[in-house]
Structure 1
Amino acid sequence: MSVEVIAARVLDGVPHGFLGRRGGVSTGGMAGLNVGLGSDDDPAAVARNRMLAADAVLPGARLVTPYQIHSASAVTVLHPFADDARPHADALVTDRPSLLLGILTADCAPVLLWDRQAGVVAAAHAGWKGALGGVTDATLAAMEALGADRGRVAAAVGPCIARASYEVDDAFLARFAAADAANERFFSPAKPGHQRFDLEAYVLHRLAAAGVTQVQAMGLDTYADPARFYSYRRATHRAEPSYGRQISLIGLPA
């Protein structure tokens, strides 16, 4: 099976893609295109999957991914770095050709961004903590430091856990309401003491609030589609020993 690359219309013109689990060499519970360096998978399979993923989006480019920490930290990348020297951050930004920026997810929202005129791209990992902390705001600021203009930026929010699959407790809602009472609109009642959270809609809101007008949501639920995507929450609910990670990629051609 070939690697599946899910493209966003709003990013048409720049090499990019949201990848799931289709087309990789991993076997067992993480069968498919698992790219997680921290997973319990065969390191050789993970390395091969990362190569397959990069070649499917921007052949010949150097893939770089951060050591993700659920923060609001965005790092500007001017030169490639080794996998064992990954910066601790949750977004990467560059204006250099032949660098392929990658973000790993397994329910969190991947965000790919591009300013066509400035030639600046970015990839951000927006879990609930990073999204609330402002990872997309930090990413836009880093892009503007390289000459981008958020009014020109196009952004796509990739496959992530959907509201129907994302049950949280009332304390979780309280964190968001404390930041902005209007955030309650991203929650809907579930069983007593619990809510369902719309992560995708919240990330879209943060992008729009920051001044991004060209935004596309892919509308794909990682939890509900085990054949296509890895999901941390699904693996947890199934008491599986580990889980895979998928990758989202964007880069400038040489």
Structure 2
Amino acid sequence: MSAPFTTAAPLADVPHGFFGRRGGVSTGELASLNCGLGSGDDPARIAENRHRVAGAVLPGAALAGVYQVHGRRCVTVDAATDLAARPEADALATRTPGILLGILTADCVPILFADREAGVVGAAHAGWKGAIAGVGEATLDAMESLGARREAIAAAIGPCIGRASYEVDEAFVGRFLADDPANEHFFAAGRPGHAMFDIAAYVAARLAAAGVGTVAIGGQDTCAEEADYFSYRRACLRGENGYGRQLSVIGVKQPT
């Protein structure tokens, strides 16, 4: 069996998908397509869910992932990842056919990249710490090391927490304004002492400024769209014991 997913027009003809919480075998608060290895879910269910993701996008492909730490490191890969020995990083890049790069999120921003001409793809997990540290730019650098051209790269931002759901305090806003006063554009007024942060727009603007040829934003709000997506913030607000993670993947087709 496979699972439903969404795609991005700029990545047409490149095997990829942004998956949500539907189409898997997990139960309870983690129902149903939980792919998070650190979620406390039954490992056998996680394995089946990840198998369904891979089968839906690139049947027979090996899935490569990283141990995400909210940083900016990007690794280049040419083989599937041993789940017990995943490198600490928040992005991956490859030019090897038959590999799916996978990024887990539960409100953070999943970014998928492709240079069709060079046959190079990338995937990044951008929480606010990774985004401001430059995980997107690090992914572009890694892709260029594999032969991609920045102006030929298309990037798609998948389901993440939306501005209407992402309340932050003044100290948070201050970090971004200290980095660049122009970042004020990504914050809207909230209740006293708080603001609403548009992290998708921030990530997109960083990628455009870095020279990416095409950047698209999916527009889903993981926190608000409970039936379709897992959300760390929603779980915290409700005092739930745990939360699932959704998987976003991209790969290079095997030559025919």
TM-score, normalisation: structure 1? 0.99
In 2: Cα distance, 1:30 partner to 1:81 partner:
24
SS of structure 2 residue aligned to 1:40: coil
Q: Size of the alignment, in residue pairs?
A: 254
Contact map agreement 2:68 2:88 (CA 8 A) in 1: yes
SS of structure 2 residue aligned to 1:230: coil
Q: Match for residue 10 of structure 1?
A: 10
In 1: Cα distance, 2:125 partner to 2:2 partner:
25
In 2: Cα distance, 1:2 partner to 1:62 partner:
15
Q: How does 1:48-197 map to 2 (within 5 A)?
A: 48-197=48-197
Q: How does 1:230-249 map to 2 (within 5 A)?
A: 230-249=230-249
Q: Match for residue 218 of structure 1?
A: 218
In 2: Cα distance, 1:86 partner to 1:232 partner:
22
Q: How does 1:37-56 map to 2 (within 5 A)?
A: 37-56=37-56
Cα shift readout 1:230-250 (whole Å, capped 9, x = no counterpart): 000000001000000000000
Q: Match for residue 23 of structure 1?
A: 23
* 1:213 shift after superposition: 2.4
Contact map agreement 1:92 1:122 (CA 8 A) in 2: yes
TM-score, normalisation: structure 2? 0.98
Could you list the runs of 5+ residues in structure 2 that have no partner in the other structure? none
* 1:40 shift after superposition: 1.4
SS of structure 1 residue aligned to 2:113: strand
* 1:78 shift after superposition: 1.9
1:203 and 2:224 are equivalent in the alignment: no
* 1:2 shift after superposition: 5.5
SS of structure 2 residue aligned to 1:92: strand
In 2: Cα distance, 1:145 partner to 1:194 partner:
41
In 2: Cα distance, 1:31 partner to 1:164 partner:
25
In 2: Cα distance, 1:80 partner to 1:201 partner:
32
SS of structure 1 residue aligned to 2:152: coil
Could you list the runs of 5+ residues in structure 1 that have no partner in the other structure? none
* 1:48 shift after superposition: 0.6
In 1: Cα distance, 2:87 partner to 2:118 partner:
24
Between the aligned residues of both structures, percent identity stands at 60
In 2: Cα distance, 1:59 partner to 1:83 partner:
19
In 2: Cα distance, 1:79 partner to 1:60 partner:
13
Counterpart of 1:93, as a letter, is A
Contact map agreement 1:72 1:134 (CA 8 A) in 2: yes
SS of structure 2 residue aligned to 1:243: coil
Off by >3 Å, runs of 4+ in structure 1: none
* 1:81 shift after superposition: 2.4
SS of structure 1 residue aligned to 2:107: coil
Counterpart of 1:111, as a letter, is I
In 1: Cα distance, 2:82 partner to 2:233 partner:
30
Contact map agreement 1:2 1:22 (CA 8 A) in 2: no
Cα shift readout 1:160-218 (whole Å, capped 9, x = no counterpart): 00000000000000000010000011001111111100000000001000001211110
SS of structure 2 residue aligned to 1:151: helix
